Amino acid sequence: MTPKSPYEKADKRLEKILAETKKEFNKHRLRNFTGHDELNVLRIKKDVASLYKKLDRMNRKFYLEIAQEVYDDIYAEQGKEPDRMFEIAWLNEILDTTNEVTDFIYTNEVKRKRDRFFESLLVLTYGNYTDADIMTLYKRAFDVWARQTEQYEINVVDYSSRDAYRDLGVQRLRWNTQRDGRVCAECQKRDGVIYPINAIPESHWNCRCFLTPP
Ligand SMILES: [Zn+2]
């Protein structure tokens, strides 16, 4: 029997967050680029800053919610009552340090993406631009944001589930692939392998493998 993937519920929330995110980018575009008005650099800079601040806030709230949900679900599966509340300090530790999968610090990357997006909008001040150019810039900014948001969904689920098993006293965990024909060769070799909880191999971008008790 294939064990249940802990990403399922989080994925549903992710879909909502990304739809919300798309709306925010859209609103930003309509505020700043309607009718080819004069670019007002300072105004746009401020508006880009507040857009990314909002997106970051949305993501952090989402990550805390899924951390709690995954933790509580694992406890429920084991027939135990969870007694831990996930707080922002737990999340900050994940987001403020270099992640082994992404190889970057989430918090810094938010600022970098914000600045890059603003710079890409500034390019429009150098000449004529078409609606298609604007759409492309916004689409690219959304895509890279979505990719980061999704990878950290996976990271947060992984951290939270490992915390749950550790708190439950589980010593060893089984590696499970999604068994959906999209599993990479490296992960395929690990499917079903049982590892000590403190010696679980690193995963990679977009890896949706998950751990369960043996
Ligand atoms: Zn994998």
Q: Report in angstroms the alpha-carbon separations of 144 from 90, 114, 177, 198.
A: 25, 11, 25, 32
CA of 62 to the centre of ligand 1 (A): 23
Q: Is residue 174 pLDDT above 90, yes or no?
A: yes
CA of 185 to the centre of ligand 1 (A): 9
Q: Is residue 38 pLDDT above 70, yes or no?
A: no
Region 152-171: what's the mean pLDDT?
A: 97
CA of 176 to the centre of ligand 1 (A): 8
User: Could you give the CA distance from residue 40 to residue 214 in angstroms, rounded to a whole number?
Assistant: 59
- The tens digit of pLDDT for each residue in 118-136 reads 999 988 877 778 889 999 9
CA of 207 to the centre of ligand 1 (A): 4
Q: Is residue 181 pLDDT above 90, yes or no?
A: no
State residue 4's pLDDT score.
Answer: 86
Query: 114 is written with which tokens?
Result: 């914000």
Region 38-52: what's the mean pLDDT?
A: 90
CA of 29 to the centre of ligand 1 (A): 37
State residue 128's pLDDT score.
Answer: 76
Confidence at 46, pLDDT banded by 50, 70, 90:
very high
Q: Is residue 208 pLDDT above 70, yes or no?
A: yes
- Which residue do the tokens 């609606």 mark? 131
Q: Is residue 99 pLDDT above 80, yes or no?
A: yes
